[in-house]
Chain A
Amino acid sequence: MLIKDKKKLALTGGYAAAYALKQIEPDVMPIYPITPQTPIIETYAKFVADGEVETEMIEVESEHSAMSAAIGASAAGARTATATSSQGLAYMHEMLYIASGMRLPILMVVAARALSAPLSIHGDHSDVMGSRDAGWVQIFCENPQEVYDKTIIGMKLAERVGLPVMVIMDGFNTSHSVENLEILDAKIVKKFVGEYAPEKSLLDIENPVTYGPVALQESYFEFKIDQEVAMATVAEEYKKIAKEYAEISGRKYALFEEYDLEGAEKVLVLIGSVAGTAKDAIDVLRKKDQKVGLLKIELFRPFLFSEIAIALKNAKEIIVMDRAQSIGSHPPLYSEIMVSLQNASNTKVSSIVYGLGGRDVFKKQIEQILEGRFREKYLS
């Protein structure tokens, strides 16, 4: 985009992702455009056209093909990334399981958006929640700075644990909002992610391997257990990589963010960009001596039940805000929090669904929620 001075930037979440990808410089990026993700690949295509990166960009004819090409490239031993949103992610659905089942460390940036019908191009978490059982690590971001940082962390994490990773921002709220952004020197990022040297690959003809063969009754089950075992290593590895990242950037990330949780009796639990608005609301209420706090989920897959239970152990009342439904069941985050708190029977837990299809959320509304003045199921 516009800016030459590398330290002081004001960029959207979409540009932030493109910048981080540029510094990572994947070998292959299969792409297909969809709002609100398009600025990411559009910006990256410019980097390619201007000769700033040597990534092989493959323009495919659909998201299903984008993920298929990513799987092929990654199995061939290439560092691979892509990006999508909404219907695109839904269209990739069967291929998501193939990426994770083959244990391919693909990085995918998602600008999360509502699903049709009725058609909406606006932000919510319906698309990514639909992928929550696909065997991908899911890392959520609050703002463009987190998008930049977690794209870099996510690439390294994928290759460390041998699982595909989604780095998720709220469509429009983050992908199209221009905010302050600090970026690192490209050389520092390159050194941080390192050279990608896969243990096995299709192009290593000295050591031939097969990817994705049929697995009959005596072996399929074990492959699936192995994915669970790999996922169980993610939290520890994420912590380690986040610590290394703090050393080069000064920005610290944990498994989740605790905001004013100390001494908080009433706690909000939520994911994504609305956390910023919630922090402002909490500051207002804390000034009135109300004991309120926030737990912001960053890793949704794996979900860190016991760590979250410990973080919430002193809360008397918990309000879980979901930006997606699970029609016929409870909303996704609320369900996970209920499981986390299965041994804490005295805690009152309630659920609110907000922001579907890009519906705005205001600070005053969050204040009302925390003050018990809003008791509906939907913040609509």
Chain B
Amino acid sequence: MKYHKDTMEIIFFARGGQGAKTAAEIIAQAAVLEGNFVQTFPNFGPERSGAPTKTYLRISDKAIRTKEPVVDPDVVVVLDDTLLSSQKVTEGLDRNEALIINSAKSPHEIRDLIRFDGKIHAVDANGISMAIVGQPRPNTVILGKIIKVTEVVKLKSILEEFRKIFEEKIGKENCEKNILAIERAYDAI
């Protein structure tokens, strides 16, 4: 996917506790490793487990100064397809821009639900995560898909960053399983 502005702007829709912030920070950190400028922040509020959340991510080759929330995203990531009924996830997206969604539904089924003309990339991140890791970890698994679609950073940088953060926390074996799941999401059509 090509940038059509100076800065790639992404909005993550999720529920409190699903780890959208962690996902955005992993991409941000990988982008910094590659020498880019980043900014990520949640739509500030008292976070409640399960309540809808929005997280913003900007990546650019120039310093990012603005503090405004993202209003014209290039890509929207949805971590939970039950949000489609209550959140206007495609607001600000045009037909050349993309929606990436964690869902077992097909892009066709999702299109029927939200009437959106742009590209829809559905990936069953929960399914992949359950099959490989044995736990639902859609937030990191979906990173594979985000990177495949947006090309904002290399898959290698994401995996390097993931190892740095999680190897100590969850152990080498578990970490490698998660990485396999990210790669699977990257390759999923």
Contacts and interface: CB of A to CB of B under 8 A. Distances in A.
Interface of A: 2-5, 8-10, 121-123, 143, 170, 172-173, 176-180, 273-277, 279-280, 358, 360-363
Contacts of B37: 179-180
Contact of B67 (A9, A10, A122, A177): A177
The CB with the most chain B CB atoms within 10 A, among A121, A177, A275, is that of A177
Interface of B: 24-25, 28-29, 31-33, 35, 37-42, 44, 46, 63-69, 71, 164-165
The CB with the most chain B CB atoms within 10 A, among A10, A143, A173, A277, is that of A10
Nearest to B69: A360
Contacts of A4: 164
Given A2-B165, A358-B44, A178 B28 contact: yes
Nearest to A281: B66
Contact of B68 (A3, A8, A277): A277
Q: What's the dominant secondary structure at chain B's contact region?
A: mixed
6 contacts: A10-B31, A121-B46, A177-B39, A180-B37, A276-B65, A360-B68
B67 A361 contact: yes
Contact of B66 (A8, A121, A280): A280
Nearest to B25: A178
A273 B33 contact: no
Given A178-B38, A178-B41, A2 B67 contact: no
Contacts of B67: 170, 173, 177, 273-274, 276-277, 361
A3 B33 CA distance: 11
Contacts of B44: 122-123, 172, 176, 358
Given A2-B165, A276-B65, A279-B65, A10 B38 contact: yes
A2 B68 contact: no
Contacts of B41: 172-173, 176-178
B25 A180 contact: no
Contact of B29 (A10, A360, A361, A363): A10
A1 to B, nearest CB: 9
B40 A8 contact: no
Nearest to A366: B68
A178 B68 contact: no
B134 to A, nearest CB: 24
A358 B66 CA distance: 15
A315 B165 CA distance: 50
Contact of A179 (B24, B42, B64, B69): B64
A279 B63 CA distance: 12
Q: What's the dominant secondary structure at chain A's contact region?
A: loop
Contact of B65 (A9, A173, A280, A362): A280
A215 to B, nearest CB: 45
B38 A180 contact: yes
Contacts of B33: 5, 8
A129 B32 CA distance: 35
Contacts of A360: 68-69
B21 to A, nearest CB: 9
Given A9-B32, A121-B46, A358-B44, A277 B164 contact: no
Nearest to B161: A2
A179 B29 CA distance: 9
A178 B39 contact: yes
Nearest to B65: A276
Contacts of B28: 10, 178
A9 B30 CA distance: 10
A360 B44 CA distance: 10
Contacts of A122: 44
A358 B164 CA distance: 34
A173 B39 CA distance: 11
Nearest to B38: A10
Contacts of A176: 41-42, 44
A276 to B, nearest CB: 4
A143 B65 CA distance: 8
A277 B46 contact: no
B24 to A, nearest CB: 8
A123 B41 CA distance: 14
Identify the 4 closest CB pairs spanning chains A and B, nearest first.
A276-B65, A177-B41, A172-B44, A178-B40
A2 B164 contact: yes
A161 B65 CA distance: 32
Contacts of B35: 8
B41 to A, nearest CB: 4
A279 B65 CA distance: 7
A121 B46 CA distance: 8
Contacts of A172: 41, 44
Nearest to A176: B41
